[in-house]
Amino acid sequence: MAAAEPRVAVTAPPGYTALAVKFGVRQRSPHCLLVKEHRVREGPGDTHPPQRTLFVLNVPPYCSADALSRLFARCGAVQSVDLRDKPGPGEKAEKRTSKFFTNGTATGFRVAYVVFRKPAGVQAAKALSQEGPLLISTESHPVKTGISKWIARYADSVVDREELKAEVDAYMQDYDKKIEEEEAKAAKEEGVPDEEGWVKVTRKGRKPGLPRTEAANLRVLEREKRKKARKELLNFYAWQHRETKREHIAQLRKKFEEDKQRIALMRAQRKFRPY
């Protein structure tokens, strides 16, 4: 449908407006961005203010944040573009500080929040659907493809040693400081009862308690069991003898039943035909 009449908007899900975009001039069939005004019921954050924010679905993988902001620049000044893997409340601005330690960007289609300076931008963007396909890779700002893209990526993958070292050092200093503070706090609370009179036992103090882990608990139980077993006398009374014999026969019976079942199954699959 879209291929036949490139100008007509593609059927969009209710509430959304479809914007046709193309990679470049040479591509024939356009791709659809689905846009709508960003609206959430609870706590619209500062990052995505309502009315001024455009919610964009189906952002193709080759489309970067810069390309998006250029794309929508014709509708009004763009304040920020937030590209995400999944839609969600906006507290993303936090850990973007580390250049090296990111959890790897996911590939595939993404969503974006485009924040305009003025609410009019949102309406203008929706109106773009009436126009022809927009171009993502333009002559002035081409999106890199093929070998040049790979070369660029390779060049990016080479880290600057000094920079990395500096970042690691800075992080570790912070971390050490944090740990130190925690330890100091723990040392201060050591042996001091709280308002109800409880004393917290830690691993650090003069009388370290058991670590509160699952493994430790199991170990204790196991030890108890062994202790009990050592004390018990085996085959001392006649009834114990009887019991073990009975147990033995029961074991054999169980094994026999299991084997029988296995055989029946194999027989059903004709596993006993030698050739």
Shortest distance in whole angstroms from residue 112 CB to another protein: 11
Cα separation, 73 vs 118, in Å, equals 12
234 touches another protein by CB under 8 A: no
Shortest distance in whole angstroms from residue 204 CB to another protein: 13
148 touches another protein by CB under 8 A: yes
Cα separation, 167 vs 139, in Å, equals 37
Class of residue 12 by CB neighbours under 10 A (exposed 0-12, middle 13-18, buried 19+) = middle
Cα separation, 222 vs 225, in Å, equals 5
111 touches another protein by CB under 8 A: yes
Calculate the CA 272 to chain-centre distance.
51
List all residues 6 or more positions away from 52 whose beta carbon is below 8 Å from its beta carbon: 79, 115, 116, 117, 118, 119, 121, 122
Q: Of 233 and 268, which has the nearer Cβ to another protein? A: 268
> For another protein, which stretch binds (CB under 8 A), given 35-43, 129-137, 162-170, 182-190?
162-170
229 touches another protein by CB under 8 A: no
114 CB-side CA count, 13 A: 35
- Look up tokens 């040049």; give the residue: 148
- Closest of 242, 246, 243 to residue 254, by C-alpha: 246
265 touches another protein by CB under 8 A: yes
How many residues in total does the chain contain? Answer: 275
- Look up tokens 């070292």; give the residue: 165
Q: 213, 237, 238, 239: which one contacts another protein (CB under 8 A)?
A: 213
What single-letter amino acid sits at 180? E
221 touches another protein by CB under 8 A: no
> For another protein, which stretch binds (CB under 8 A), given 45-53, 76-84, 171-179, 234-242?
171-179
Q: 161, 206, 227, 228: which one contacts another protein (CB under 8 A)?
A: 161
Q: 185, 219, 223, 246: which one contacts another protein (CB under 8 A)?
A: 246
Shortest distance in whole angstroms from residue 83 CB to another protein: 13
Binding site for another protein (CB under 8 A): 13, 32, 34, 57-58, 100-101, 106-109, 111, 147-148, 151, 154-155, 157-161, 164-165, 168-169, 171-172, 175, 179, 211-215, 217, 246, 249-250, 252-263, 265-269, 271-275
